[in-house]
Amino acid sequence: MLILAGAGSGKTRVITHRIAFMLKKGLPQSSILAVTFTNKAAREMLVRIRQLCSVKPRQLTACTFHAFGVRVLRESGHYLGYRSNFSIYDQTDKQSLIKEAARDMGFPRDSLDPQRLSYLFSRIKTGTPWDEYSEQYKDLFSEYTQRLKLFNAMDFDDLIIQPTRLMEEFPEIRRLYCQRYRYIMVDEFQDTSRAQYRLIKILAEESRNLCVVGDDDQSIYSWRGASVENIHRFERDFPERTVVKLEQNYRSTRTILKAANKLIANNEARKCKTLWSGLGEGEPIRVLLPEDEEQEGRLIADTIRSLAFQQKLKPAALDFNPDFVLISAGFDAHKDDPLSGIPLTSSAYGDFTDIIREIADQTCGGKIVSVLEGGYSLSAIAESVLIHLRHLNS
């Protein structure tokens, strides 16, 4: 099933309710695999399912692509010559190994950019063909991959590539996981890479029970390997699929959606959707043209104060959604703070620390980072985060 879920139409809700329905029908938890993109989203999915079913989904697998890859490789990686206690290299580890291999192979130090090579090797691993530029690093790439194997280690790309290789080269392993996971769901499908789709396709080849939820209009991660073409590949690979469109938006007014529909209609090769809302026309759209980011911040803060005054909201009632607050490491909250006088609640900080932990999970290979919970000033939170990130870098 392909569910084309427009912005604000409840993508994650669809998956959680579908899983809850299957569990109420008596399907075993262990046969269900739900894949999403962040650990936080996976945790929230399990919480919602527990609330809907009044049962603890202990045997249900809801995780990120990389976490699923780790699970498979810990269990069956010995078929590829890895021990179950393999290490996972983050970007720092990966670049250090590239530098070490390059030095031993006699590459001039000044001619190498480890960060650029790390990105290049990721692209090669995930299917980008060699070209005239990358060919000069072919031997270095081979040495890097050999050293990873020697050290019983994998980088993040391996957590997707190696499980796929495992199932392609060993039919008995493929059958094992295909029979274990009979019902597979993928959230935010438009953000999947070609390698991730290849893995999911293999898992679903036997049961043909694959449900993906996404929106091609929201595909913004092509720079990190996401391929919106996966929606078209899914339609070709699963011709028996059912297509469902979710077009009701629960967030915005008709005025906003009318403008959004007109704008997004210019995208080429998109799946036709027309979002609509039951929240009324709403206010006219205003276009603001600030000169720089500082003026932009002041305009937003002044708008918040103005709306609070017009609606006669007391400070305690101002509970701003942290989804709309982005704190830059270079922002000095001590002087000329455009947010001064605007209360930010402790619940917002709780969500903010979750975001930082999520960053640590994604960038540090699961290494734990501790973030201070106390304090209610932006500068205190930002400084706490910076201290811990500096510690991670060291």
Least confident of 101-105, 157-161, 310-314, 343-347: 343-347
Backbone angles phi, psi at 10, to 5 degrees: 90, 55
Identify the CA nearest to 156 among candidates 63, 87, 100, 54: 87
pTM of the model: 0.76
pLDDT of amino acid 267: 82
Least confident of 44-53, 103-112, 217-226, 277-286: 217-226
For the chain, give percent helix, strand, coil, nearest 5.
55, 10, 35
pLDDT of amino acid 390: 58
Residue 374's pLDDT band (boundaries 50, 70, 90)? very low
d(CA 34, CA 186): 6
pLDDT of amino acid 357: 54
Give yes or no for a contact between 276 and 247, defined as CB atoms under 8 angstroms apart.
Answer: yes
pLDDT of amino acid 110: 80
The continuous run of DSSP H or E covering 24 comes out as helix 11-24
DSSP 8-state secondary structure symbol assigned to residue 278: S
pLDDT of amino acid 21: 94
Q: Region 264-279: what's the mean pLDDT?
A: 86
Res 361 pLDDT > 60: no
pLDDT of amino acid 288: 85
Residue 10's pLDDT band (boundaries 50, 70, 90)? confident
What is the identity of the amino acid at 370? S
Give yes or no for a contact between 118 and 94, defined as CB atoms under 8 angstroms apart.
Answer: yes
pLDDT of amino acid 98: 96
Give yes or no for a contact between 296 and 337, defined as CB atoms under 8 angstroms apart.
Answer: no
Residue that wins the pLDDT comparison between 322 and 96: 96
Res 338 pLDDT > 70: no
Within 8 A by CB and 6+ apart from 271, the residues are 4, 216, 231
Res 126 pLDDT > 50: yes
pLDDT of amino acid 372: 38
pLDDT of amino acid 276: 92
Q: Region 216-245: what's the mean pLDDT?
A: 85
Res 336 pLDDT > 80: no
Res 51 pLDDT > 60: yes
Within 8 A by CB and 6+ apart from 350, the residues are 373
3-class SS of residue 289:
coil
Residue 234's pLDDT band (boundaries 50, 70, 90)? very high
DSSP 8-state secondary structure symbol assigned to residue 317: G
Res 191 pLDDT > 60: yes
Q: Region 85-97: what's the mean pLDDT?
A: 94
Q: Region 109-122: what's the mean pLDDT?
A: 90
Residue 200's pLDDT band (boundaries 50, 70, 90)? very high
